Each structure stands twice: as C-alpha cells, then as structure tokens.
Structure 1
Amino acid sequence: MTHTALAPAPFEVDYGHVEPIAVYFDDHDPMGIVHNARYPVLLERAITPYWTARGHYFDHNGPSTPDLFHAVREFSITYHRPIRGAGEVLVHFWLDTFGETSARYGFRFLSSDGRTCYAEGHRAIVRLDQVTLRPTPWTEAAREVALPLLKPERSLEPEEVA
C-alpha cells in the first residue's frame, strides 16, 4: 500500500501533535458511519507517522528501536458524533504521562477544519522486554521523541506498571 500525502493540519495546537489521516470506505459499518472498532486503527494511522519521521519504525528488518516492542494496556474512548463518509479527519494526540516503562496518550478525532470533535479518549501502553515480556524502561531516544508530545502540566513522571 502506498501512502498519499495529506494536507497539513489547518490549525495549531498548544500541545501534542495533529495528524491528518484518511478514512476509507472499509472503515464504515452498514449505516455509513465509522465502525467503533476502527478507531484504534485510525489512531495508529495517526501516531505511526509521528514516530516514523523521528526514526522509530518497522521495516523488513523488524523494529528500528526496541521501544517499538510495546503493548496496549488500556484503551478508552467516548464517541460524541459519528464520522460519516470517507475523507480526511484530524487526530490530535499528546502524552499525558511518559513514565519509566509506560505511557498514556490522550487523543481527539476532529473534523478536517478542527471545529467538530467526533470522539476523544486515552490509550495506555507498556514497553516490554522482547525476551521476558515484562515491562522494561524506555530508551533515551524514545524520551527525546516523546518530550514534545507531553501536555504542558504533565512531565516525564516515573510510573511503574506490573
């Protein structure tokens, strides 16, 4: 699959990052609205380019950094309005926390003009050791990429996840 460059986000945010993403026909349910189970995929479509552009990506050799070996611990979303039809939406995402071994993203799905919030929520992830599958610390490289995503009142807080 090739990726088509989407227009840059039409507005600035005070924190985090805004990524335009494409919503396709197959993201919809029989009623013509984005299926609730597709939102985690759409969120991945937004977060992945941010990290890829900063050296954290998967290719035929596997992950470029050990920080990509992580698992979703929690995903919560509140739906406000349905996304109808194919086209572009914006995903505003940020980090509420970036701890020793875990991170908690906040996110919003917005209309292409940024005026309508379709859904919002959070997603927590845990970095895992590839051998033991136990939580393990993020690298300094990941911390450098994460820092600009932190919401201003938040910090790189130590946070342990068992």
Structure 2
Amino acid sequence: MTGITFTPIGTVHSPFRDPRDMPIQPVGARGVRGTIELDPAYAAGLKDLTGFSRIILLYHLHRTEGYALEVVPFLDTTPHGVFATRAPRRPNAIGLSVLRLVTVEGATLTVEDVDILDGTPVIDIKPYVPAFDAYPDERAGWLASTSEAARTRRSDGRFC
C-alpha cells in the first residue's frame, strides 16, 4: 500500500489543553464550547452550513503516539480490538466527533459538545444528517452495557 497525505484545513480551539481528565466522547462534553478556525482559503466551503444543527468533524489525534491492536478502553476493564473501540491510539490517528453547530462567522465555526484537545488539526467537516447518519436500532456490541458511562467518564492518560 502507498501512504496517504492529508493537509489540515483548520484548527480546533477548546478549553482542553491536557488529554488527561477531559471528556471521552461528545456526550460527556454537553455544552462545552469551542471554535474551529479554518484556513481562510476554505471559507467558501462553509456556504449553507448554517442550515445544519450538527456537524461531523474529522481530525488528526496529533498528541497520540503509536498504537496497540488490543486496548483496554475508558469504558471497560477488558481488552478489546482497537477497531471495536474509540480509543485514540490507532494505526491512523483519526478522530471523529459529532458537534452542535452554534454559528459560522467568516472562516470560524463556534461549536458545542467539544471533546477535542486545543490545537487539534482539522481534516474535514461534513454536515450531520439524521436521515443518513442515525441508526438508533442497531447493535452497539460490548458498548451497549457501558455507553451511558461516557456522559461522566473522563480520560485518564492511558493513551497519552
């Protein structure tokens, strides 16, 4: 296989400066506000985004190093395959968060439910569309019994 290169289109600004003791999912960061500052060259790509209440943000987990194929995730004490978790140390350090879109002003988006480290490079933004993106009747594997804990669980540095 050949390598893939992404160029960041912007940066996340959030109150979280340390990966320890921060929310582990957007559901645990309800109301936490941040901004996404895009490179002005991409501002025209934000046209019509204000019609959406949520966005899907793809970003580079820039503070992680290495990975393991089996991990003990924040919401369990049992090892699981990394692809059956949302652990940040992955073969390709790509993060995904569904955030509430508050405003778009020029090349800056104000968002809520931010569970992302300050300074995180943004790879892409997509609109969240419930008809396309929500599957409430699907199975959640081992997370079905622990997902509610994501509302209060904080990171602990195990993936730093």
Structure number with the bigger relative contact order (C-alpha 8 A, sep ≥ 6) is 2
Same structural fold, with TM-score higher than 0.5 when normalized by the shorter chain: no
Greater fraction of residues in strand: 1
Q: TM-score when scaled to structure 1?
A: 0.31
TM-score of the pair, normalised by structure 2: 0.31
